[in-house]
Amino acid sequence: VMALARLDVPSLMLYGGSIAPGRWRGKDVTIQDVFEGIGAHAAGDLTDDELTDLENHASPGAGACGGQFTANTMAMAFEVLGISPMGSSMVPAEDGKKGKVAEECGRLVMEVLAEDRRPSRIITKDSLENAIAAGAMSGGSTNLVLHLLAVAHEAGVPLDIEDFDRIAWNTPLLCDLKPGGRYVATDLYRAGGVPLVIRRLQEAGLLHGDALTVTGQTIGEVAGLAEEAEGQDVVRPVSDAIKPTGGFAILRGNLAPEGCVVKLSGHGRMEHRGPARVFECEEDAFAAVMAKSIQPGEVVVIRNEGPVGGPGMREMLHVTAALVGEGLGDSVALLTDGRFSGATHGFMAGHVAPEAPHGGPIAAVRDGDTVVFDVAKRELNVELSAEELAARLRDYEPPAPQYTNGVLGKYARLVGSASEGAVTG
């Protein structure tokens, strides 16, 4: 979609579709359960054979990861953005209707060419705000922030992280989807799919209904065509929201002057105060979790994993899932200049900017420093004076780059801040 926006040629996006859930011990499971099972195994709650059995049942076929993880979040966002045909993205990968959807997209793209229906008419500030609201309402991946900022950059549409916070704060969480909820994408498809989410946005007064879609219809017209399965409880009514606000928030403070994103779906925590446990990379943090050395109340700090430090901003799913699997998900917090998998849940702040190699304050944090999350105030702070922070940063020596040439070396030299979408130009 970044390429479509940059080239501005008549075009659309067709999503390959979600995997069906696996079945294990009488319940639906996804890849999220496998990662959390690794932590449960380390805690002694799963045997070797049980973990292997779970792994063998979690992914029964083709398709993207099954919850409202990054792939399905972005598929929904692009359908609401208008660049994917309405009703196309939640058709599962192995569903018999997927071929018909692909055929219809082939017909539609010829119409789009004939009508000269370009992405610049579709990707606007209003349509981007619609997509943000859908992500917030569905409890979607925090990667939505990075990716929509990058799409907006390519389209030349002004968008910043404060737009995400403003919209999420005013958008109720209505979709009971994994990783924080009960259901997966195939359940959403049966319930009514993305058109039902669009209708809920309209009912909540949150939809810019005049935004154009790739079919030539407005998004408001699409909302009127939504069909809701009788008795479904995947997408709640506006009057019965899971939470009054959306699934993420933007925090700032002396640890994140340029901002960071914290996931709020799947838990009710709004504050955390605890001592830092600092790790220089994901592998070190994961080893500590597996060694059971992380204590309740601590704040796990993982740095040097941002766009430059990674390079490439790896997701911290191994660590976050292992913490949940070990039973620490409700008692610890985590912050990183890296990012998260859409399967991550718990009190986790990512995309902390500036990142450590650029001299961001996260580079100054030491073991035992008190870190404070305060979502109501939209703040992430370390309890150090400005003078102490400045002194530590003066002494800070960033690690040597992992790559100095090749694609990753070039990327690390060119990439910008996560707060602006981690774009390279």
* Residue 53 host element (H or E): helix 48-58
At residue 352 the predicted structure's pLDDT band, cuts being 50, 70 and 90, is: very high
At residue 195 the predicted structure's pLDDT band, cuts being 50, 70 and 90, is: very high
Which residue matches tokens 């070190």?
284
At residue 132 the predicted structure's pLDDT band, cuts being 50, 70 and 90, is: very high
For residue 425, pLDDT over 80 is answered with no
Q: Cα(323)–Cα(81) distance, rounded to whole angstroms? A: 34
Q: How many CB atoms lie within 10 A of CB 6?
A: 15
In our burial notation (b when 16+ CB lie closer than 10 A, e otherwise), range 25-41 reads eeebbbbbbbbbbbbbb
Q: Cα(323)–Cα(3) distance, rounded to whole angstroms? A: 37
- Amino acid 321: pLDDT: 87
Interval 146-157: pLDDT, tens: 999 999 999 999
Q: Cα(269)–Cα(409) distance, rounded to whole angstroms? A: 39
- Amino acid 198: pLDDT: 98
- Amino acid 341: pLDDT: 84
Task: Give pTM, 2 decimals.
Answer: 0.96
- Amino acid 336: pLDDT: 98
- Counting Cα atoms < 13 Å in the Cβ hemisphere of 164 gives 30
- Amino acid 126: pLDDT: 99
Q: Cα(139)–Cα(197) distance, rounded to whole angstroms? A: 12
Structural domains in the chain plus CATH codes:
2-17+66-240 (no CATH), 22-58 (no CATH), 248-420 (3.50.30.80)
Residue 369, helix vs strand vs coil: coil
Of 11, 84, 138, 341, which one is the catalytic site residue? 341
Choice among 3-12, 173-182, 287-296, 337-346 with the minimum mean pLDDT: 337-346
What is the pLDDT averaged over residues 194-208?
98
At residue 349 the predicted structure's pLDDT band, cuts being 50, 70 and 90, is: very high
Interval 397-424: pLDDT, tens: 988 998 999 999 999 999 999 999 999 9
Q: What are the residues whose beta carbons fall under 8 Å from the beta carbon of 396, sequence distance 6 or more?
A: 359, 363, 364
How far CA 386 is from CA of 104, 274, 358, 378, 396, in Å, comes to: 59, 19, 18, 19, 15
Q: Cα(148)–Cα(78) distance, rounded to whole angstroms? A: 9
Interval 314-344: pLDDT, tens: 988 889 888 988 999 999 999 999 999 877 7
| Average pLDDT score over the chain | 96
At residue 220 the predicted structure's pLDDT band, cuts being 50, 70 and 90, is: very high
Interval 227-282: pLDDT, tens: 999 999 999 999 999 999 999 999 999 999 999 999 998 788 999 999 999 999 99
- Does the annotation count 11 as an active-site position? no
At residue 115 the predicted structure's pLDDT band, cuts being 50, 70 and 90, is: very high
* Closest CA relative to residue 359, chosen from 410, 406, 331, 393: 393
CB 67 within 8 A of CB 177: yes
* Sequential DSSP letters for 269-282: --EEEEEEEEESSH
**CA geometry: angle at 93 spanning 86 and 71, to 5°?**
70
CB 340 within 8 A of CB 315: yes
Interval 136-181: pLDDT, tens: 999 999 999 999 999 999 999 999 999 999 999 999 999 999 998 9
CB 303 within 8 A of CB 309: yes
Choice among 36-40, 207-211, 215-219, 255-259 with the minimum mean pLDDT: 36-40
For residue 114, pLDDT over 80 is answered with yes
What is the pLDDT averaged over residues 207-225?
96
